[in-house]
Amino acid sequence: MALLDGKRILVTGVLTDASLAFGVARHAQEQGAEVILTGAGRGLSLTRRTARKLPAEAAVLELDVTDATQVAAVRDELGARWGRVDGALHAIGFAPPSCLGGGFLDAPWEDVAVALQVSAYSLKTLADVVVPHMADGGSIVGLDFDNSTQAWPAYDWMGVAKAALESTSRYLARDLGPGGIRVNLVAAGPIKTLAAKSIPGFQQFEDVWDERSPLGWDVKADADAVARACIALLSDWFPKTTGEILHVDGGFHSVAT
């Protein structure tokens, strides 16, 4: 039996076939799951195009996590199509240009608020979408870049948002656990994706990661390792794991400078 045989998985964050979320969607299908993707805004057409590259073309629903109308519509559509959701991948993040690149003190609250809502609060928003369809339990997995204890060059308010994402996942794990719903994060090493290209100074991560990681790190090839970890957490093989951050970063996080 495949790891996700018969499961129904909602996957956010697919833009191109280089997206970490695309690898998760592909593996999910290969492991027996039925998959629906979501996309938003100008990226929606990219998501629809990329959906055709999966082993089986996936349906795409429009989900802007800042739009309550779309949130409700996707929740209702999942109920109508599936009736049951077994898992969801949160791969959503955005920060306005002022929040990245070294101008930490200059970013206005209006921009910081966008970064926090889209990149952290949206995990709770995704839970609002899928939890009503998880009467028999389920798994919510989010993609993270571990920022809770360090300040990274140029990452600025996105780092703050990721730290908030980590805290949000723990509180969701607390409140959803009694219903058999697990909430975990996968903290990935840097991967060359469309989203990564928008981060000023991303090259600085690339330059040091492979050198410092005990297992080494390839910013292209190791996306698959991240996807496999997500699939494991979406499966039934971690029935008593929640509120956890699983590092898939070659061991970088464990080694001092």
Structure tokens at 80: 């109508």
> Which residue type is seen at 134?
M
Establish whether 171 is a catalytic residue. Answer: no
- The active-site residue, picked from 53, 162, 192, 240, is 162
- A 10 A CB-CB count for 3 gives 18
CB 191 within 8 A of CB 224: no
- The active-site residue, picked from 121, 155, 192, 220, is 155
Establish whether 155 is a catalytic residue. Answer: yes
CB 88 within 8 A of CB 129: yes
* Strand order from edge to edge, sheet including 34-39: 59-62, 34-39, 8-11, 87-90, 138-144, 181-188, 245-248
CB 81 within 8 A of CB 58: no
CB 36 within 8 A of CB 61: yes
- The residues that are catalytic are 155, 162
